[in-house]
C-alpha cells in the first residue's frame, strides 16, 4: 500500500557523480550514452539511488533479493561484469550512437544477442578491459 508520495529522489551529489562517471566511461569504453536522454537520466538516477542506499552504484535494471550482499560481490556494480567482458549494457546506458547495445562479443544464446541480433562494436580498440586481460593471460600461458 502506498501513501501516494513520490519516491525519494537520490542525492544531487550522487546524481552528479554518476553523470560524470557515465560520460567518462562512455569515452573510455568507446560507446555512447543513450541518445534518448530520458533513458540515460533514469539509469543515472537509479545508480545514484543505489549509492545512497548501499554505497555502490549497483545496476538499477536488476532485482536483488539482498542489495547489500550483491554490492559486495561486485558483478553488478557499474560498469558491470557484462560490460567489462562483453561491452554489453543491458540498461542501455552504454550503447552505439543509435541507441542499440553492442552484442558482438556475447556468447551464443545470451538474451541480448537473442533480442538484438549481432550488433557490431563501433570502436573495438576501447572497452572490454576484463576480457582483454583474460585473453592476454591465456595467450601468455599457452606460449609460442
Q: How far apart are CA 52 and CA 54, in angstroms?
A: 6
SS3 95: strand
Q: Which of 61, 78, 80, 91 is catalytic?
A: 61
Burial 120-139 (b: 16+ CB within 10 A, else e): ebeeeeebbeeeeeeeeeee
Is 89 among the residues known to form the active site?
Answer: no
Q: For residue 37, which phi and psi values (nearest 5 degrees)?
A: -55, -30
* Residues annotated catalytic, as ranges: 61
Amino acid at each position: 500500500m502506498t501513501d501516494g508520495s513520490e519516491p525519494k529522489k537520490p542525492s544531487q551529489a550522487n546524481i552528479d557523480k554518476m553523470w560524470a562517471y557515465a560520460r567518462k566511461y562512455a569515452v573510455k569504453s568507446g560507446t555512447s550514452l543513450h541518445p534518448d536522454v530520458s533513458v540515460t537520466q533514469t539509469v543515472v538516477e537509479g545508480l545514484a539511488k543505489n549509492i545512497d542506499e548501499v554505497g555502490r552504484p549497483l545496476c538499477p535494471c536488476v532485482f536483488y533479493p539482498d542489495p547489500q550482499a550483491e554490492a559486495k560481490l561486485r558483478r553488478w556494480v557499474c560498469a558491470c561484469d557484462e560490460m567489462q567482458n562483453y561491452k554489453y549494457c543491458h540498461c542501455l546506458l552504454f550503447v552505439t550512437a543509435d541507441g542499440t547495445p553492442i552484442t558482438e562479443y556475447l556468447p551464443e544464446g545470451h538474451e541480448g544477442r537473442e533480442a538484438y541480433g549481432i550488433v557490431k562494436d563501433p570502436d573495438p580498440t576501447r572497452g572490454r578491459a576484463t576480457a582483454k586481460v583474460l585473453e592476454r593471460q591465456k595467450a601468455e600461458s599457452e606460449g609460442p
